[in-house]
Every structure is written in structure tokens, then in C-alpha cells.
């Protein structure tokens, strides 16, 4: 009982004990005027791709539009100044877009886009100056005709193209009775320079998030899939073995240590919060969110047996933290990032009722959890100024004006996309950005692990494409330093090669070349 009371006291403690970043709403002045709209086929989705499409070191944004067209906003912010974006016409401005992920598919210097749609999915090859060309035919990519709501990517073996996993939702023909009618997910594996016919990942259970992740540092990523139990029958959360580019994936079973878990799975975020060098996983859901850590990695590193520690860490986020609505919350996109630059990863969770569901909160503000030095979290969504009662879906944290502080963009369903500028904490908040580069095909070193040392503490970061809710960020990895002026970094590259420790100085972006 004493431990329970202590944990409850921590949850109730004011966020003023931390360095609170100050977020300033700049949606109107930034020039972003966009909404994700739609009813039945757009109750899920509503994502954004955040990436630098013109090589000016400022992240640009591609935002899903649902029944309206998606839109590309090119970043025109001044370094350290207010946020500014210019809406730019693009061939990627498609209708029926649920979300998008940036990825460098062809191994050149320009990011490409995988666009998820209600209908045919489209891969767009990036061209100079934020232009794109359709590449489905060029790369032999079959976009299908489903309701796509999840994505992840990895490079297998010596393939020149990445393996793409796409998660699909309800069979659209079953609107009158959708329960149990989940469309198969697809695995797009390359053969030479083009993609083979999609391989169904069955069983499939209405996926809303996917992530390729090397959960036990074996050198072989597995595929996590988070599924919406509202619509499946007999399903659960999934983890797939990937044992080589020529081997069919297979599910981890309960006998292999992956227990049955059934949630309204909507988003996945990963970070090494426990400090053991292994990724931990935050799973968004309805009513409460899960935070999974390996139960006993030393005893059996081959068994993905996880413990849920969201409650003692204070991040169940099971009901609104303000606004007076005491009904259960609905979580969507989640992302870890150090928003106050104190050297500890914080957590953003997008919230919003699905579609006037009466048993769940209508006023459901997003969460901004700040990590404490004890490894627990406290709520700062309201005190930081990043409060919103709109029905959020996707988005992302990124430094949009190059001042070293992580800003916030949120895509809302049937409401305006919002953006906040992080003006800092008023105290020391140094940072370092680490950009990885290696020869083609996997130029961004997806699957690498970055180890960042501050004093005697080492933070481990896996470089991934996927997770979240139909939203992806690609670019330099952000590390807060607090009051320190230097840190140390080394890279374990995707093939397992271990780089040397290097000293890095605060206030800059360091490019580590393979």
C-alpha cells in the first residue's frame, strides 16, 4: 500500500517541479491552414510526414486531408524566429490520404514518400525543391485498394530496396457490419530493383500502427503490429519473426514468450527509458495506455515477455488531465523526444474521441509528459501552453526553426491542424543533433542504434521508420544536454559494425558518416 500511495503522490505532484518548456500557439501566423476531414472512412488516420524536402536543414510538412486533398507546406521559418510555412502545389497533393511516412527508397539524397490512402496507396519519388513524381510503376509497387492505416520499413539482407509493411483497417464493403472484417495487411518485398506481388500478413486484425524494431538487439528486427480490438474477432497485438529476405514471416507465440494482449491499439512509440540499452514500447489505446519493458532480458533474451509499467511511471493517460470530462481517454499518435533539453526523453500523446462515442471523453486534451530524474513522468500539457481540446490524431515533434527546441504539430479530425513553437525553459537547455549517413541503399541508416553518453549515463536510440499513428518524422536525432557543453556518441550501424566513441559539442548538428 505504501508504494501505491507514493506512486499516486508522484502522479499528483505539480509539473512546476520540472523545467517547463513554453509552447506558443502559432497556427494562424505560421501559414498552416489545413484540416483532416471526413466521416466513416476517416474516423481513423489523419497523419503528417515531417522531413526536409529541399535540403535547407528545416523540416517541411506533408499533411493528410482525408476527403479533401493532402497538402505540402514548405518551411520558411527564420533560424530561431517565429514559425512560417508556405503551401506549395505538388503532385503528392492527393485526395483520400489517411497518412504518410518519409523514407529514402531509392538511396539518393532526396527523401521519398509512402502515402497511405483509402484506396490505392502511392509511393512518391522525391525530386529537387520539394517536388515529387509517382513511382508505383517505376518500382513495381502495387498500391492495392484498401483502407490503409499503418506503415513500417526495414532493409533486409542485401536488397537495394527496403521492405515495406502496410497495415490495413476494415473492409470498406462491410460498413453495415464491420466487426471481424479486417483487411489483410501487406508485406512488399523487393526482387532486384522492383517490388514483388504483396505478401498477405495473415492473420490480420485491423492494424493502426506498425514498427520494425530489434527488440532484443539480436541484429534481426521483428515487426510489431498494434491492432484495434473494436473491429477484430479473436485477435491480439502481434510480433512477427523476420528471419531473412527469402523466409516467410511467422508470428511469435505465447510459448515463445509473447503473451496475448488485446487493446484498442492505435499507436506505437519506442525509447530506452529503463536505460538497459533495449527499446521500450508505449502503446496507445482507449481507456488506458500501455508501457512495455522486457520482464527479464538477462534470464531469456530470446523471449519477448513484457511487463506493463505505465502506472508506476505515471503515463497510463487513462482520462483527461484537465477540462472536467472524467470519462476514459482515447490515445492516438505518441512520440518520445526531449522537449525541455534536460537529457531525459519526454512523451507526447495525441488524444481525441473516435466519433462521438458517448462512453469516452469528448474533451480529451493531448498529454505532454516530462520525465523526471527518477525515471517517472509528470503532466505538463496545460502548464506548457500546448493545451488543445480538438480531436487529435497524428502529428509530430520536430525543431521547425532550428533553435534547438522541439516544436509540436498536431493533425486534428474535422478541425484545424495546430502548431506550437517551443520557446524553451528559460534555463540551460543545450542540445546536439546527430545525423547518420551511409552509402546506398539504406542511406539514413535505418535500423542503427545511437548510444549517447552524458556523464556516466548512456541513452540508446533505435533509428526506425514506422510507429506513431499514420505519421512519421525523418531527420537528425535530437539529444538534450541540460547544462552540459559536451557529450559522447557512438553508432552501432545496421549491419552490427560498432563505431568509436566521439566527443560532440553542444548547439550543433553532427553528421556521422559511415
What's the pLDDT band for 297 if we cut at 50, 70, 90? confident
Query: Does residue 327 contact residue 360 with C-beta atoms inside 8 Å?
Result: yes
Q: What is the pLDDT of residue 441?
A: 97
Q: What is the pLDDT of residue 9?
A: 36
pLDDT tens digits along 94-122: 999 999 999 999 999 899 999 999 999 99
Which DSSP helix (H) or strand (E) runs through 122? strand 122-127
Q: Give me the percent of the chain exceeding a pLDDT of 90.
A: 93
Query: pTM above the 0.85 mark?
Result: yes
Q: What is the pLDDT of residue 302?
A: 84
Q: DSSP string covering 129-187, please? A: GGEEEE-TTTTT----SEEEEEEEEE--TT-SS-EEEEEE-B-GGGTTS-TT-BPPEEE
Which DSSP helix (H) or strand (E) runs through 313? helix 310-313
Q: Looking at the predicted structure, is the pLDDT value of residue 3 above 50? A: no
Q: What is the pLDDT of residue 5?
A: 31
C-alpha cell at 88: 506549395
Q: ∠ CA(367), CA(331), CA(51), 5° rounding?
A: 75
- Residues 219 and 495: their CA atoms lie apart, in Å, by 7
pLDDT tens digits along 17-41: 579 999 999 999 999 999 999 999 9
pLDDT tens digits along 125-158: 999 999 999 999 999 999 999 999 999 999 999 9
Q: Looking at the predicted structure, is the pLDDT value of residue 467 above 80? A: yes
Relative to beta strand 502-505, strand 486-492 is: antiparallel
What's the pLDDT band for 192 if we cut at 50, 70, 90? confident
- Residues 331 and 350: their CA atoms lie apart, in Å, by 6
Q: Which residue has the cell 505560421?
A: 30
- Residue 251: CB atoms within 10 Å: 16
Strand positions, DSSP E, 277-425 = 280-284, 290-294, 306-308, 331-337, 346-351, 367-371, 377-379, 392-398, 407-412, 418-422
pLDDT tens digits along 416-446: 999 999 999 988 899 999 999 999 999 999 9
Residues in the chain: 514
Q: What is the pLDDT of residue 17?
A: 53
Is the sign of the CA dihedral 473, 49, 443, 54 positive or negative?
negative
Mean pLDDT of the chain: 95
Amino acid at each position: 500500500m505504501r508504494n501505491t500511495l507514493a506512486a499516486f503522490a508522484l502522479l499528483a505532484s505539480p509539473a512546476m517541479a520540472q523545467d517547463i518548456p513554453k509552447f506558443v500557439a502559432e497556427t494562424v501566423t505560421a501559414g498552416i491552414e489545413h484540416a483532416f476531414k471526413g466521416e466513416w472512412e476517416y474516423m481513423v488516420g489523419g497523419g503528417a510526414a515531417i522531413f526536409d524536402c529541399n535540403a535547407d536543414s528545416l523540416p517541411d510538412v506533408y499533411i493528410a486531408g482525408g476527403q479533401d486533398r493532402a497538402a505540402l507546406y514548405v518551411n520558411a521559418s527564420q533560424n530561431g524566429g517565429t514559425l512560417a510555412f508556405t503551401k506549395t502545389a505538388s503532385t503528392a497533393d492527393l485526395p483520400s490520404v489517411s497518412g504518410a511516412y518519409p523514407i529514402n527508397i531509392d538511396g539518393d539524397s532526396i527523401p521519398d514518400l509512402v502515402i497511405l490512402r483509402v484506396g490505392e496507396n502511392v509511393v512518391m519519388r522525391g525530386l529537387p525543391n520539394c517536388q515529387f513524381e509517382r513511382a508505383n510503376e517505376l518500382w513495381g509497387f502495387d498500391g492495392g485498394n484498401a483502407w490503409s492505416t499503418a506503415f513500417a520499413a526495414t532493409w533486409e539482407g542485401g536488397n537495394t530496396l527496403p521492405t515495406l509493411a502496410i497495415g490495413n483497417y476494415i473492409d470498406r464493403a462491410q460498413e453495415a457490419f464491420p466487426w471481424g472484417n479486417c483487411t489483410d495487411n501487406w508485406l512488399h518485398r523487393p526482387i532486384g530493383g522492383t517490388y514483388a506481388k504483396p505478401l498477405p500478413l495473415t492473420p490480420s486484425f485491423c492494424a493502426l500502427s506498425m514498427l520494425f524494431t530489434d527488440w532484443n538487439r539480436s541484429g534481426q528486427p521483428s515487426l510489431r503490429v498494434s491492432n484495434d480490438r473494436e473491429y477484430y474477432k479473436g485477435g491480439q497485438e502481434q510480433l512477427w519473426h523476420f528471419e531473412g529476405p527469402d523466409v516467410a514471416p511467422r508470428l511469435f507465440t505465447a510459448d515463445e514468450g509473447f503473451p496475448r494482449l488485446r487493446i484498442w491499439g492505435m499507436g506505437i512509440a519506442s525509447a530506452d527509458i529503463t536505460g538497459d540499452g533495449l527499446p521500450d514500447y508505449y502503446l496507445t489505446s482507449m481507456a488506458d495506455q500501455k508501457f512495455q519493458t522486457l520482464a527479464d532480458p538477462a534470464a531469456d533474451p530470446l523471449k519477448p515477455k513484457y511487463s506493463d509499467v505505465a502506472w508506476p511511471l505515471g503515463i497510463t493517460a487513462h482520462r483527461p488531465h484537465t477540462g472536467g470530462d472524467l470519462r476514459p481517454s482515447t490515445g492516438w499518435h505518441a512520440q518520445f523526444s526531449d522537449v525541455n533539453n534536460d537529457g531525459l526523453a519526454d512523451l507526447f500523446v495525441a488524444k481525441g474521441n473516435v466519433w462521438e462515442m458517448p462512453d469516452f471523453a469528448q474533451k480529451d486534451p493531448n498529454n505532454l509528459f516530462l520525465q523526471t530524474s527518477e525515471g517517472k513522468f509528470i503532466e505538463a500539457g496545460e502548464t506548457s501552453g500546448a493545451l488543445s481540446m480538438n480531436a487529435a490524431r497524428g502529428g509530430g515533434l520536430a525543431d521547425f526553426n532550428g533553435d534547438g527546441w522541439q516544436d509540436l504539430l498536431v493533425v486534428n479530425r474535422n478541425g484545424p491542424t495546430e502548431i506550437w513553437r517551443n520557446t524553451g525553459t528559460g534555463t540551460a537547455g543545450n542540445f546536439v543533433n546527430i545525423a547518420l549517413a551511409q552509402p546506398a541503399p539504406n542511406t539514413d541508416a535505418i535500423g542503427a542504434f545511437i548510444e549517447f553518453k552524458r556523464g556516466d549515463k548512456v541513452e540508446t536510440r533505435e533509428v526506425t521508420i514506422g510507429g506513431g499513428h499514420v505519421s512519421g518524422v525523418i531527420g537528425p536525432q535530437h539529444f538534450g544536454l541540460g547544462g552540459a557543453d559536451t557529450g559522447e556518441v557512438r553508432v552501432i550501424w545496421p549491419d552490427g559494425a560498432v563505431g568509436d566513441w566521439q566527443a560532440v559539442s553542444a548547439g550543433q548538428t553532427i553528421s556521422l558518416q559511415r
